[in-house]
Amino acid sequence: MRPLQIRPAEARDCPEIMRLIKELATCDNKRSVTHLTIADLLRDGFGDNPLFYCLIAEVYNSRKPSGRTAVGFAIYYFKYTLWTGKLLYLEDFYVIKAYQGLGIGDEMLKRLSQIALRTQCKGMHFLVVIWNRASAEYYCRRGASDISSEEGRHLFKFTHAQLTEIAK
């Protein structure tokens, strides 16, 4: 059995994906605003028209019946821009702390790049929280560029309540 496996997630992985999402939310101090459920993941990622795709990073673990433990994930989807065309949008990418620095992130980024090229994407976009300098530096070392000021755009949002009010 290979010590590291990166594979597309399946519906049966939703509890593990949720565990990793909650751990990421804790790291980002966002645990209290995480309202996503396993049912949401199943409906939105594993139905007839998935809204996202997910890669799972697993390592060998002889203590588990499956022989594997999920230690990371990457959630992505495809978007389209008028200036560029099709892009792979990396929504989130996380490797649990005990497994960081072992090359798992590099392998996941490599796999995401292969998916982007295979699906004829013109590039990959993603956000990095402003305080996470380590992640920003990680991506920059791999050639990513911070286009925040270059693009000259602000990121806005409407909440569900605001959408309800606007839709009246």
**Residues 119-152: tens digit of each pLDDT:** 999 999 998 888 888 888 989 898 898 887 677 7
What's residue 105's pLDDT?
92
What's residue 55's pLDDT?
98
Burial bucket for residue 112 (CB in 10 Å: 0-12, 13-18, 19+): buried
Q: Where are the alpha helices (DSSP H) in 5-103?
A: 14-27, 38-45
What's residue 108's pLDDT?
95
In angstroms, the CA 15 to CA 42 distance is: 10
State residue 97 phi and psi, 5-degree precision. Answer: -50, -45
CATH T-level fold of 4-167: Aminopeptidase (3.40.630)
What's residue 155's pLDDT?
72
pLDDT tens for each residue of the chain, 168 residues long: 568 999 999 999 999 999 999 999 888 777 777 789 999 999 999 999 999 999 999 998 777 777 789 999 999 999 999 988 999 999 999 999 999 989 999 999 999 999 999 999 999 999 888 888 888 898 989 889 888 767 777 677 788 888 888 889
Burial bucket for residue 56 (CB in 10 Å: 0-12, 13-18, 19+): buried
Return the DSSP state at 150: H
What's residue 150's pLDDT?
74
In angstroms, the CA 128 to CA 22 distance is: 18
State residue 84 phi and psi, 5-degree precision. Answer: -115, -40
Does the pTM surpass 0.85? The reply is yes
